[in-house]
Amino acid sequence: MKKYTDPCAVQWDAWFVNRETEQGTRTHAFYLQNGPLTPSGDPREGWGVGHAVSCDGFHWESCPSVLPPLLDESNPADFHSKFTGCAVNRDDVCYLFYTMRDRERTSQRIGVAISRDWEHFEPWEGNPVVVNEDTVDIPVATADGAPRAGRLIGYNNLSHYDWNIVDARDFIVVEREDTDGKGCYSGYYAAAADLGGSCPVGVIVMLRSHDLLHWTDPRIVYHVDHHGVLEVPDVFYMDGKWVLCCLSGMNYSGRAVTSDPYASNATIVAYADSPDGPFLEIEEDNILIAGPTQSGFTCRSFMHRGERLLVYIDRADGKNALSLPKVLQMDGGRLRAHTCPIPEEHLGERLSTEVWCDEPNSFAWKTYGGVSTRDADGVLCLQTAPKDYHAVSIPLPEEIAAAGSAMVCAELCVQGSGGIFLRSRGCPYVVLLEAKEGRVALYRLYSFDPLAARKFAVENGKRYAVRCILIDGVIEVYVDDVLLLQCGLPTDRLSHLGFVADRGTLTAENIEIRGLL
């Protein structure tokens, strides 16, 4: 099983729109092509907006790319390759919004290109459609409704700040009702604003439009409470709330951006009662997906058969790719990414789990940290010495090992910590549910070098449904059907899968191990 990756260029941020056809609903993905895999003499080759189409979010068909850089000296504001945007289907006409970049590659505006055949796009002659209003204060949505204003950083006031870019990027458009009950659109983009602090801060600005070309009434609907930057917002309505997701993290200039001390890169979530904001975080639980820097990023979503599917960019061990889709749901008023059932044609036969091999817990010596048993009902039990860990595994068939794509599921109960064992490229790894530390963590053996972790309240003796997917250079770990870990991990030559107990016991029931075809 392979995820979609651009065949000729480096793939980055993606966004999605649906189109009804005689064959049914087709989802169009547009994404950044940031340079060719093989350099060429033409500066436009491989630099544009990639295009792919899918019927189910798993299988993508590559289409010719669109909107290469103009490199036109007569149009210095829309000179270089595009940055992130969105697409809107209005009466079967595709409005493809994108971030314009000027000749110096430092400043941004938002433009739109239009297509009636969904293959050939022409930039609108009235571009840009959005430029920061930087000479007047604009409203800031507040929780108590108290009046507040801020000023965007733009071309007329950039020199007043220790700031080097005019941020106006990553447009996302949603349909809504206007205050008069008529249909209209809200557009949201990432910018920077002076809100009275010692430094500009990242903000999300909202505008309104009735025709997708003329945008008015700017207001700041979300801002960070630290000197940080935001990127790639997504906005949608779900279960009575308006939801805003956007990319942030420590490398975006913020030390305590997320509610999880183990996450350095995250898509954070805020909620509002109105599309006009204010969007507010639940401070103790503000994460949709998160992990180390080498984890998924730039989340965008689309509707598919009544469900909202999330797709992000996997920064894999190798090339970037569109992630497997996830199902977005509100659980107790909190947004979560759930497993999207893998199509049956991609699931191999269940592998036999009757015989388990003990794994040594040393890089050189045949030392073992415990014992394993399997009862008549197929329940696997691992018991370790007080200061040791113990793992068992089964070897994978050659076709699975070579493809490097597999899934292991089980109901796990731990005392201490325990979880999944895997061996890839000859190197062993473990995913542990750690009760004492209150987290789920990925380690490289035998040194237990930490690779990724997420805060999670593991209870000793409680049963958890754990699913681990390994595919195309990434690992995904779900606990009780909610995505917790996702990050780059070498998965080719995936030779063994199994389970591990760490300084305690683990039982594994209803075990299922399959290759992904």
Query: Is 19 inside a domain boundary?
Result: no
- For residue 317, which phi and psi values (nearest 5 degrees)? -75, 85
Question: Both 399 and 316 in a single domain?
Answer: no
Backbone angles phi, psi at 354, to 5 degrees: -80, -30
CB 204 within 8 A of CB 222: yes
Residue 319: inside a domain: yes
* Arithmetic mean of pLDDT, 235-252: 94
Cis (ω within 30 of 0) for the bond into 443?
no
Grouping H, G, I as helix, E, B as strand and the rest as coil, residue 151 is: strand
Query: pLDDT tens across 337-349, in order?
Result: 999 999 989 999 9
Whether residues 246 and 386 share a domain: the answer is no
* Number of domains comprising the chain: 2
Report the distance separating Cα 403 and Cα 425, nearest Å.
12
Distance CA 503, CA 406 (A): 27
The residue among 295, 313, 341 that closes a domain is: 341
pLDDT at residue number 8: 85
Please give the structure tokens belonging to residue 458: 């593991």
Which domain does 462 fall in, by range? 345-515
Asked if residue 16 belongs to a domain, the reply is no
| Same domain flag for 354 and 415 | yes
CATH number for the domain spanning 442: value is 2.60.120.560
Note whether 91 and 209 are same-domain residues: yes
**284/356 same-domain check:** no
410 and 293 inside one domain: no
Residue 250 has pLDDT above 90, yes or no: no
Domain boundary among 341, 356, 390: 341
Q: What is the pLDDT of residues 170-208, one digit of tens each?
A: 999 999 987 777 789 999 999 999 999 888 999 999 999
Confidence at residue 245, expressed as pLDDT on a 0 to 100 scale: 98
Calpha distance 37→462 (Å, rounded):
48
User: Do 320 and 434 sit in the same domain of this protein?
Assistant: no
Confidence of residue 514 (pLDDT cuts 50, 70, 90): very high
Alpha carbon distance 204, 195 (integer Å): 13
Q: With respect to residue 58, please indicate whether it lies within any of the assigned structural domains.
A: no
Same domain, 210 and 359: no
pLDDT of residue 44: 77
Q: How far apart are CA 161 and CA 151, in angstroms?
A: 12
Three state DSSP letters for 313-335: EEECCCCEEECCCEEEEEECCEE
- Residues 383, 293 share a domain: no
- Are residues 395 and 416 both part of a single domain? yes
Identify the pLDDT of residue 396.
97
Residue 24 lies inside a defined structural domain of this protein? no
Query: How far is it, in rounded angstroms, from Cα 123 to Cα 111?
Result: 7
Where does the pLDDT of residue 254 fall: very low under 50, low under 70, confident under 90, or very high at 90 and above? confident
Query: In this model, does residue 37 exceed pLDDT 80?
Result: no
Q: What is the pLDDT of residues 385-444, one digit of tens each?
A: 999 999 999 999 999 999 999 999 999 999 999 999 999 999 999 999 999 999 999 999
Q: What is the pLDDT of residues 85-133, one digit of tens each?
A: 999 999 999 999 999 999 887 789 999 999 999 999 999 999 999 999 9
pLDDT at residue 386, as a whole number: 94
Mean pLDDT across the chain, nearest whole number? Answer: 94
Do 140 and 274 fall into the same domain?
yes
Residue 80 domain flag: yes
Which helix (H) or strand (E) segment holds residue 310: the answer is: strand 307-315
* Residue 206 is assigned to a structural domain of this protein: yes
- Report CA dihedral (479, 398, 390, 410) to the nearest 10 degrees: 30
Residue 469, pLDDT > 70, answer yes
Is it the case that residue 318 has pLDDT exceeding 90?
no
Cβ of 512: how many Cβ atoms within 10 Å? 13
Cα distance from N-terminal residue to C-terminal residue, the chain: 5
Cis peptide before 128 (omega within 30 of 0): yes
Amino acid at position 435, single letter: A
The neighbouring-strand residues paired with 219 are 206
CA atoms within 13 A on the CB side of 438: 5
Which has the closest alpha carbon to 495: 468, 478, 515, 512? Answer: 515
Confidence band, pLDDT 50/70/90 cuts, at residue 225: confident
Q: Is the peptide bond before 123 cis (omega within 30 degrees of 0)?
A: no
% of the chain residues with pLDDT over 90: 84
Average pLDDT over residues 499-503: 98
Tell me the C-alpha to C-alpha distance, in Å, between residue 460 and each of 412, 416, 437. Answer: 11, 7, 12
Q: Look at residue 506 and tell me whether its pLDDT is greater than 80.
A: yes
The CATH number of residue 210's host domain is: 2.115.10.20
Task: Indicate the residue among 317, 341, 365 that finishes a domain.
Answer: 341
470 located within any domain = yes
Considering the domain architecture, whether residues 336 and 351 belong to the same structural domain is answered as no
